[in-house]
Amino acid sequence: MILFAGFMEKTYSQAEVDTTSTIMLAENQEAEQAYNQGLEEIKNRNYTYALSHFTDALKYKPDLYQAYNGRGTAYLLMKDYQNAIREFRKALKMNPQNKGSLYYNIAIAYQLDHQYDSAINNLKLAEKTAFKSPKVYYNMGFCLYQQGKYTEAIAAYDKAIAADPKYADAYNDRGSAKRQAGDLEGAIQDYSEAINISPKAMYYDNRGTAYRRMKLFGEAIEDYTMALRLSPDAYAIYNNRGSARYDKGDYQEAIEDYKKAISLKPDYAPAYNNLGTVYYVIQNYPEALKALNKAIELNPSYGYAYFNRGNVKEELKDVEGAVNDWKKAASLGLKLAETNIDDYKKKK
């Protein structure tokens, strides 16, 4: 038995904050100008300059809550999530009338910081206000998905889709939640709806993976191919198509896809692991060993690669090396390697 690396699954789009439009402060032109300059720097992705301008705006008008919101947005885009939360909370304290969008922004900061319970709590607070954006339910679904609560995630995505029937990302992500819950047919229906609304490589890729799990390898290959037409440099999708071609028995085509993935991303260990497994199956053990060595060089904690290399070494009559690799794989949590070790002990 050989083990493949996990396929790529992209389930969500970029989280977005709710920003306030340009303000007009006839009584304080300096604050207005500094604030608008901050917004412009946000658009230009000059986040440090944006922070400086928002800070200047607050010097001119200390109660300008929009500037705190702007500072929070800049910090969030700089991936400084704790400071982002702090600034959003300052804005919330100063302007409780606009609390819905601010609760939402706080939730996004927590979400990006992988604090999903706190994100969900703030999304629920946003939901209770007049802020009824479908993104509230979409991001709630994302957080629940990350927690492995797939049934609850599906329910949240249902609300997002009810609020916006053309929300392609919500269909895609609900499809991924259904796939994790074992409803592959439902997943394919949702991915198909997402594709109908807005054909994206990510949607084709995810539907291809659902087809692959259903052992519909021809359909999977077609979807991966379509995804690659839309995103020709997507190395992980080449890896996915290679695995579908391997499953179908098209070994040479699989090798070509894995090599293409590697050419696009030379440090992509999963493609080396998968390339090694194909060489193992066609009994090209020297090439298999070379590919698996590279996978381990790139990721010394890669349990699958150690397991597979152990199998190759066994075929090359390097029994001691095989056992050592299986032991390493077992130490990394791969239970299947323990079976190989037990089988070897029985043969002694």
Q: What is the pLDDT of residues 144-186, one digit of tens each?
A: 999 999 999 999 999 999 999 999 999 999 999 999 999 999 9
Domain 199-266 part of CATH 1.25.40.10: yes
pLDDT at 131: 84
Instruction: Give the amino acid at 228.
Output: L
Contact assessment for residue 243 and residue 212, using Cβ atoms and an 8 Å cutoff: yes
pLDDT band at 345 (very low <50, low <70, confident <90, very high): confident
Residue-level length of the chain: 348
Contact assessment for residue 81 and residue 113, using Cβ atoms and an 8 Å cutoff: yes
pLDDT band at 95 (very low <50, low <70, confident <90, very high): confident
CA distance 261 to 255: 10
pTM of the model: 0.87
Instruction: Give the amino acid at 106.
Output: I
Among candidate residues 157, 156, 36, 17, the one with its CA nearest the CA of residue 78: 17
pLDDT band at 14 (very low <50, low <70, confident <90, very high): very low
CA distance 316 to 268: 26
Contact assessment for residue 138 and residue 170, using Cβ atoms and an 8 Å cutoff: yes
Q: List every span in the chain annotated with CATH 1.25.40.10.
A: 15-131, 133-198, 199-266, 269-348
CA distance 88 to 311: 54
CA distance 243 to 3: 11
CA distance 100 to 92: 9
Given a cut of 90, whether residue 12 has pLDDT beyond it is no
Contact assessment for residue 215 and residue 179, using Cβ atoms and an 8 Å cutoff: no
DSSP letters, 75-129, are: HHHTT-HHHHHHHHHHHHHH-GGGHHHHHHHHHHHHHHTT-HHHHHHHHHHHHTT
Topology (CATH level 3) of domain 133-198: 1.25.40
CA atoms within 13 A of residue 327's CA, in its CB half-sphere: 8
Radius of gyration of the chain, Cα coordinates, nearest whole angstrom: 25
Q: Which architecture, in CATH terms, is 15-131? A: Alpha Horseshoe (1.25)
Question: DSSP letter at 198?
Answer: S
pLDDT band at 107 (very low <50, low <70, confident <90, very high): very high
Given a cut of 80, whether residue 344 has pLDDT beyond it is no
pLDDT over 90, % of the chain: 84
Superfamily grouping for domain 269-348: Tetratricopeptide repeat domain (1.25.40.10)
Given a cut of 70, whether residue 42 has pLDDT beyond it is yes
pLDDT digits (tens, 9 = 90+) for 240-276: 999 999 999 999 999 999 999 999 999 999 999 999 9
